[in-house]
Structure 1
C-alpha cells in the first residue's frame, strides 16, 4: 500500500461486451488504503460505453473527465462532456440513472469516485433488470441480477409453509 499512485502505472483490465460496450479500467482505492471510498480509472474506446444506463439506490458516484469527449446521459437528459468536466450521479431512482458514452475519435479517459456500501440495489431502466449485492466484513458476497417478473412469494418452497 502507498498513499500515492500514478495513473500511468495502473494495470488495466481490457474487456468488451457485444458491439456497444468496452473499456480498459481498474479499481485502485484499496491500493491507496481507502475502504470507504471507491476509485477507478477508465479508458473507453470511441463509440463505446463502459456500462449500461443504470441508477444506484445507495451508492453515489462522481466522474472527472480527464481526456476526450462524450455524452453523459442522466435521467431524461443528455449532456455533452469534455476534459475538465465533473459529473455527479447521486443515489436515487430512474431520475438519477446515468451512462457515459464516448462520442469522440480517441479514448474517453476518466476517474470514477464513489461511496462504498455493504449492500446495494442497482436498477437498469433500459432493460428492466435490477442487481442486488452485498458483502460481509469477512469477504462473503451475495449477488443477484434479475427482473421483477422473476419474483416469487416470500414463503415459496419454505418447509411447512
Structure 2
C-alpha cells in the first residue's frame, strides 16, 4: 500500500468497443489502501467516451476534470465542461456520460463510494446490471453479479405456490 501516489504512476488498461467507446483507465484507490472510496484515472481520446449512458442506484460518483474538455450528458441535458470542473452524478439521479467532444486528450478522475451492492441502469439499451457482495465490495468480490434486460412480472409469477395441485 502506498500513502502517496502520483497520477503518472497509475497503471492504465486500454479498452475499446466499436468506434464510440475507448479509454485508458487505472483504478488507484485500492493502491492507496482505500477500499470504501473508488478512485480511477480515465484518459479518453477526442470523439470517444469511456462508458455507456448509465446511472447507479446506490453509488454516488464525482468526476474531476484534469485536462481537456467535452460534453457531460446528464439526463436530457448536454453540458459543456473544461479542465478544473467537477461533475456530479448522485446515486439514483439522472443518467450520465462523459464525452470527449474536444480536440485534445481528456483526463479525469472518477470518485465513487464503494458499497456492497450496486444496480446500474443503462438507459439507452434498457439493460440492468446488479452486483452484490455479501462481504466486501460489489466490484471486487460480488457473491451475485448478473446483467440483462428485465421482464416485468408480479411478485408470485413463476413461483410454485401449490395452487395448481
TM-score by length of 2: 0.88
Distance 1:86 1:156, change over 3 A: same
Alignment: residue pair count: 159
**Aligned partner (choices 117, 139, 156) of residue 115 of structure 2:** 117
- Between the aligned partners of 1:99 and 1:118, the Cα distance in structure 2 is 23
Q: What is the aligned-residue RMSD (CA, Å)? A: 2.0
1:159 Cα deviation from its structure 2 partner: 10
- Between the aligned partners of 1:48 and 1:100, the Cα distance in structure 2 is 9
1:60 Cα deviation from its structure 2 partner: 0.2
> 2:82 aligns to what?
82
**Aligned partner (choices 146, 149, 163) of residue 147 of structure 1:** 149
- Between the aligned partners of 1:151 and 1:133, the Cα distance in structure 2 is 21
Distance 1:84 1:151, change over 3 A: same
- Between the aligned partners of 1:90 and 1:29, the Cα distance in structure 2 is 19
Map of 1:1-161 to 2, 5 A cutoff? Answer: 1-93=1-93, 96-137=94-135, 139-149=141-151, 156=158
- Between the aligned partners of 1:105 and 1:146, the Cα distance in structure 2 is 35
1:52 Cα deviation from its structure 2 partner: 0.4
What secondary structure is seen at the aligned counterpart in 2 of 1:148?
coil
